[in-house]
Amino acid sequence: MQGSLVVVSGFSGAGKGTVMKRLLEKYDNYALSVSATTRQPREGEQEGVSYFFKTPDAFSDMIAKGELIEYANYCGNFYGTPKSYVEQQLQAGKDVLLEIEVQGALKVKAQIPDAVLVFITPPSMLELEARLRGRQTETEDVIAKRMARAKEEAGIMEQYDYLVVNDALETCVDELHGLIQKQHDRISQQKAFIDKIRQELSIY
Ligand code: 5GP
């Protein structure tokens, strides 16, 4: 059976990265897509693990060759999802996770209507601000920019399929896992089984 394509977005500071990491640790059958980006690597980031780091020319080349499912400009850098890995993993029956921002998420949905869009949010915006401050690496200016960006992103939350509140990590991870597993029951995911039933009925 083909796996589900799951797009996860959320405000900066919502804890998406931690949720994804825990989901992959706790349950089998997930594959996390590694994006291409033109932004510079941060300390500790590894080529091919965190991102595929590209020059603007190499990124343009990937676009021209149709190698990306979607791409978007976020804060001055390009980010895109490589197509081949996602297709291979879905065909192998894996549930593929894309952790991408909202413009890209909507492009995925337009192209692949069966994709499930999940928005992760902290329980309140006061909590979001507290989490951003808690990182202790962000300046006041960056915190203000991220809260402004959250305000913009909140404007399109209705276009997502599910909203998951990240209050307690394990609860959030289990809820996300549960809703992804439910996607396998969707009729559109059951093509092989439906074909089998039709084949069996053909003798009557
Ligand atoms: P960062 O620079 O902090 O790693 O990522 C910035 C934003 O880009 C995050 O919201 C992240 O989810 C998003 N992002 C990462 N990869 C992709 C991608 O392939 N496509 C799109 N549209 N957004 C991405």
* Dihedral sign computed on CA atoms, order 33, 153, 63, 114: positive
Q: Please state the atom number of ligand 1 nearest to the C-alpha of residue 81.
A: 19
Q: CB of 9 within 8 A of CB of 162?
A: no
Q: What is the pTM of this model?
A: 0.91
The mean pLDDT value for 2-26 works out to 94
Say what the pLDDT of residue 7 is: 98
Tell me the percentage of the chain whose pLDDT exceeds 70: 100
Mean pLDDT score of the chain: 94
The mean pLDDT value for 48-55 works out to 96
Q: Cα–Cα distance between 201 and 193 in angstroms, integer?
A: 12
Q: Domains (ranges, CATH) in the chain?
A: 5-33+95-201 (3.40.50.300)
What is the distance in A from the centroid of ligand 1 to the CA of 198? Answer: 43
Which residue out of 74, 75, 118 has the highest number of ligand 1 atoms within 8 Å of its CB and is therefore the one to mutate? 74
